[in-house]
Amino acid sequence: MLAPMAGVSVQAFRRQGRRYGAGLVCSEMVSCAGIDHGNERTLGYLRVGSDEHPLAIQLFGSEPGVMAEAARMVEAAGADLVDVNFGCPVRKVTRTGAGASLLDEPDRARRIVQAIAGAVTVPVTVKLRRGVEDGARTCLEVGPELVEAGAASLTLHPRSAQQMYTGEADHALTAELVELVDVPVVASGDITSRARAQAVLAWTGAAAVMVGRAAQGNPWALREILDGDGTAPTREEVVAELLLFVRETVRELGERRGTGFVKKFYGWYLGRGRFPKPFKQELVVLDSTEEVVTRLLAAAPGAAEVLERLEAELPAAGDEILLDRLPISIYGGG
């Protein structure tokens, strides 16, 4: 599964994940707060394309009733699963009683899952961290309760909220959680290779693994994890995927937002020893997509042909549903 990542999991990222074999992709978290007062600081709205399914759409919020209403909207937009975020460690989110802070409020967490499960017919899943404080084992208490409340699957990222992304994911906890519940458990955290995926699956008994940071600018990691094909992409392939990503993301977010948004992806695509470092620096200072495209094509002219093949496989534009009452929060994380 491809991990939900705020500020990363735009439509182009999810579609790319599917092309490289992810069995399930997930939107980044969308805010339920927008329904009530519409004043969430927002990065934009989610677009759901017909080729993204099966797609999980992730919600975050703290009010069971509001979240249930958001879940209905998400189901109507075509979500195959409604995922609930009990993992976001960012203070702007936890301060509102959402994300990982719900791990310390099991009663409210349970009511949220119950309300959502009662509102939709698609499965409701939950993504959680191990707990709020370092060393916490809260997930082992809350997880089974959430299953009782109606969660059809749990994804565990076994770091504490306090840890953010430091240290290592402690999949010993994932193994314990698998023993405690009779629904599929998904292991998230530090899955970077096929060897690592196989080791974690064997060790924990998890039903699936989720891949996040390893797939940033690197869909080839998904291919390697799925079928062991570790062939490095050619420069043309790398540039073609980046060109498609830039173009699609600018289409989704608009030129002004899109050009800023894609900048962090340059290093992710062009790093990893694929291009000399100064090349990324050159792109980051360019202001328009047009200049970026020109520069990339000059570096790898053969990419144009690869890009044409990728474009031919895209569904027709307009074949999308816009979730325009649920903003994508700028404060994301998990």
Q: 334 with 36: CB under 8 angstroms?
A: no
Q: Quick one: which of 247, 239, 295 has its CA closest to 270?
A: 239
Q: Is the peptide bond before 301 cis (omega within 30 degrees of 0)?
A: no
| 173 is an interface residue for ligand FMN by CB under 6 A | no
With CB under 6 A as the contact rule, the residue among 8, 59, 74, 103 that binds ligand FMN is 8
With CB under 6 A as the contact rule, the residue among 158, 189, 233, 327 that binds ligand FMN is 189
Nearer to ligand FMN, 193 or 234 (CB): 193
User: What CA–CA distance (Å, rounded) separates 22 from 308?
Assistant: 23
With CB under 6 A as the contact rule, the residue among 34, 61, 258, 332 that binds ligand FMN is 332
Which pairing describes strands 81-86 and 42-49: parallel, antiparallel, or unpaired? unpaired
| 29 is an interface residue for ligand FMN by CB under 6 A | yes
| 61 is an interface residue for ligand FMN by CB under 6 A | no
Q: Quick one: which of 262, 265, 266 has its CA closest to 253?
A: 262
Radius of gyration of the chain (CA): 20
CB of 317 to ligand FMN, least distance (A): 26
Token pair recorded at residue 134: 């370092």
Single out the segment in contact with ligand FMN by CB under 6 A; choices: 42-50, 80-88, 175-183, 290-298.
80-88
Please list every residue from 194 through 223 that binds ligand FMN, using CB under 6 A.
Answer: 211-214
With CB under 6 A as the contact rule, the residue among 1, 3, 35, 181 that binds ligand FMN is 3
Active site residue 139: no
CB of 279 to ligand FMN, least distance (A): 23
| 7 is an interface residue for ligand FMN by CB under 6 A | yes
Single out the segment in contact with ligand FMN by CB under 6 A; choices: 133-141, 263-271, 285-293, 326-334.
326-334
CB of 155 to ligand FMN, least distance (A): 7
3-state secondary structure at position 195: helix
Strands (E), 110-150: 124-131
| 5 is an interface residue for ligand FMN by CB under 6 A | yes
| 70 is an interface residue for ligand FMN by CB under 6 A | no
Nearer to ligand FMN, 60 or 296 (CB): 60
Strands (E), the chain: 25-26, 30-31, 42-49, 55-60, 81-86, 124-131, 153-160, 185-188, 208-210, 320-329
Nearer to ligand FMN, 7 or 54 (CB): 7
Single out the segment in contact with ligand FMN by CB under 6 A; choices: 2-10, 107-115, 217-225, 276-284.
2-10
| 157 is an interface residue for ligand FMN by CB under 6 A | yes
Binding letters toward ligand FMN, positions 271-310, x by CB under 6 A: ----------------------------------------
Please list every residue from 218 through 237 that binds ligand FMN, using CB under 6 A.
Answer: none
Tokens 């895209």 locate to 314
Distances in whole angstroms, Cα of residue 214 to Cα of each of 3, 190, 280: 10, 8, 19
Burial class (CB in 10 A: 0-12, 13-18, 19+), 271: middle
Q: 306 with 236: CB under 8 angstroms?
A: yes
Q: 323 with 31: CB under 8 angstroms?
A: no
Q: Which sequence positions are flagged as catalytic?
A: 88
| Residues lying near ligand FMN in the complex (CB under 6 A) | 3-8, 28-29, 58, 85, 87-88, 127, 157, 165, 188-191, 211-214, 332-334
